[in-house]
Chains A and B, each alone.
Chain A
Amino acid sequence: MDFLFQGFLQAFKLLLTGDPETYSAVAATVTVSSYAMAVSLLMGIPLGFALGHFRFPGRRAVRLVVDTMLSLPTVFVGLMVYALISRQGPLGQMGLLFTLPGIAIGQTLLALPVVIALGATTVESMDANLRTMLISLGAGRRQLLLGILWEARHGLVEAGLTAYGRVMTEVGIAMMVGGNIKWHTRTITTAIALETSKGMFAMGIALGMVLLLIAFFTTSAASLIKRK
């Protein structure tokens, strides 16, 4: 099992020597997950807030659907997105297959339910007195919403981080939709899958460490927001 130790060493070597293949995979991973997170936060936070805050008919059914989507298997999403953007598919004209935006579409489908569901739970679990208090302080409708949103920020950051974890670590969509093309759509996870299948276990471990390192920096940045 000396490849475990070798992997750790190699991780630092790859990063310090500026290995172009590793950095290309890092760039692909960061690009794709940024796209996916930007879209799913922009769409997910308002939707999650609405789902948690407003009472409307059919709300429980919507909630059930969103919660079920938390279990979406990544290879299944990959297959669905492939069917959609294959040249023979309905969106085939856009040339999204084997591109980073193509992967991002799939990962957005993966992250969106997480943001909505956890966002809704956060808003639901807010102190019921908050609303009364804000109104008694003379808050208007807009101020009321913003006030609740502000109080929910910790939970929302947590929702974002959970979604980010799912996006960063998935391999099914990136493989199926991206095709694991060197210098273009090879992400860290598909590179790990490839190295492992070639029996290059140390390299796989090294890339895994690199992924964890990126996650560490992102999480640290997010925790700064929470501290305020």
Chain B
Amino acid sequence: MKRLSTIIKLFLLMGISAAVLATSGWAADDNVLMMATTTSTNDTGLLDYLAPHFNKASGLELRWTATGTGKALELGKNCDVDVLLVHSPEAELKFVEEGYGIHRTPIMYNDFVIIGPAADPAGIKGKSVAESLAAIMAKKAVFVSRGDKSGTHNKELELWKTAKLTLPEKESWYVQSGQGMLATINMAFEKKGYTLTDRGTYIKYEADKGGQPPMVILVEGDETLRNQYSVIVVNQKRCEKAKSGMAQKFAFWMSGPQGQMLIKEFTQNGKQLFTPNAK
């Protein structure tokens, strides 16, 4: 009998500790807006700069988790976040079409650039995107891809396709990093290779290197290189707990005069990172 009572006590103890652990999670705050976003909006410092302004204007606290656009959309599908700030138009339209999100609002854009070592081993400087990719392929120069279904990765896949080249997935010179943008730029630098990046992250990288970056912009300005960021509200019809009303407020604020002006005024090293373009 003694043994039994010891066992019962034991389970009681486990139950209590589990309960303590669980209840402490219930302190969920009502004015917290949870967002999933891409690495570029976080790594450049844009969100750190915008969040306090948004808090002052709305009284809402913005919290975000920075992942690739692919995972951000997945978090939205699983109802784990209330709002998204992402940059992969095709995937976004599909997301909205399938009923996961509503009110996709274009907020701002910058552009993608192809960067590489100043020595430019494949000689792509000043060429068009299609010519550059063909030259990299012909020279078998190292190209570092994000390889993570992020907005930048999706754009890169689109560029190979538009250039009518087969994706060099299994070639040894085509490296898939599976990491965020800044990590990928650093990897490309170590391997003396090329990579595709959004200009915002590149300017941040340039500023971190004291304005003397070892990786330089070689290809830019091509129409296909546009990089559009949008806010999407997670659909409350599918996700009962999603705070769609608050998410809506965030979308309005970002596309409204104050958000747009703040985005325009956000600089690194004296350079503007994003161009506001909400309608």
Residues of A bordering B, CB below 8 Å: 35, 38-39, 42-43, 46, 86-88, 92, 94-102, 104-105, 108, 141-142, 179-182, 184, 196-200
Going nearest first, the 10 A-B pairs with the smallest beta carbon separation are A179-B65, A197-B183, A101-B25, A87-B79, A96-B25, A95-B28, A197-B180, A198-B182, A39-B17, A88-B78
**Could you tell me the distance in whole angstroms from the C-beta of A80 to the nearest C-beta in chain B?**
14
Q: Say yes or no for B275: interface residue by CB 8 A criterion.
A: no
A208 to B182, CA, bound (A): 20
Contact of B79 among A42, A46, A88, A179 (CB under 8 A): A88
| Sampled A-B contacts (10; CB under 8 Å) | A35-B21, A35-B24, A39-B17, A39-B18, A39-B21, A42-B13, A46-B10, A96-B22, A181-B65, A198-B183
A-B contact count (CB 8 A): 81
A179 to B179, CA, bound (A): 15
Contact of B80 among A39, A98, A104, A142 (CB under 8 A): A98
**Could you tell me the distance in whole angstroms from the C-beta of A156 to the nearest C-beta in chain B?**
16
- Is there an interface contact between A43 and B205, defined as CB atoms closer than 8 Å? no
Question: Which of chain B's residues 28-65 have a Cβ closer than 8 Å to chain A?
Answer: 28, 34, 39, 43, 48, 63-65
A141 to B179, CA, bound (A): 58
- Is there an interface contact between B182 and A197, defined as CB atoms closer than 8 Å? yes
Return chain B residues, CB-CB under 8 Å to A96.
Answer: 22, 25
- Is there an interface contact between B66 and A180, defined as CB atoms closer than 8 Å? yes
State how many residues of chain B have any CB contact under 8 Å with chain A.
33
- Is there an interface contact between A199 and B21, defined as CB atoms closer than 8 Å? no
Q: Say yes or no for B14: interface residue by CB 8 A criterion.
A: yes
**Could you tell me the distance in whole angstroms from the C-beta of A141 to the nearest C-beta in chain B?**
6
- Is there an interface contact between B26 and A98, defined as CB atoms closer than 8 Å? no
- Is there an interface contact between A97 and B17, defined as CB atoms closer than 8 Å? no
- Is there an interface contact between B34 and A98, defined as CB atoms closer than 8 Å? yes
**Could you tell me the distance in whole angstroms from the C-beta of A77 to the nearest C-beta in chain B?**
16
A92 to B81, CA, bound (A): 12
A101 to B239, CA, bound (A): 23
- Is there an interface contact between B63 and A181, defined as CB atoms closer than 8 Å? yes
Complex: chain A residue closest to B185, CB-CB: A199
Complex: chain B residue closest to A197, CB-CB: B183
- Is there an interface contact between A43 and B65, defined as CB atoms closer than 8 Å? no
A105 to B17, CA, bound (A): 11
- Is there an interface contact between B78 and A86, defined as CB atoms closer than 8 Å? yes
**Could you tell me the distance in whole angstroms from the C-beta of B273 to the nearest C-beta in chain A?**
15
Return chain B residues, CB-CB under 8 Å to A105.
Answer: 21
- Is there an interface contact between B22 and A101, defined as CB atoms closer than 8 Å? yes
Q: Say yes or no for B2: interface residue by CB 8 A criterion.
A: yes
- Is there an interface contact between A102 and B18, defined as CB atoms closer than 8 Å? no
Return chain A residues, CB-CB under 8 Å to B2.
Answer: 141-142
Q: Say yes or no for B158: interface residue by CB 8 A criterion.
A: no
Return chain B residues, CB-CB under 8 Å to A182.
Answer: 48, 63
- Is there an interface contact between B21 and A184, defined as CB atoms closer than 8 Å? no
- Is there an interface contact between B79 and A94, defined as CB atoms closer than 8 Å? no
Return chain A residues, CB-CB under 8 Å to B39.
Answer: 197
Return chain B residues, CB-CB under 8 Å to A95.
Answer: 25-26, 28, 241
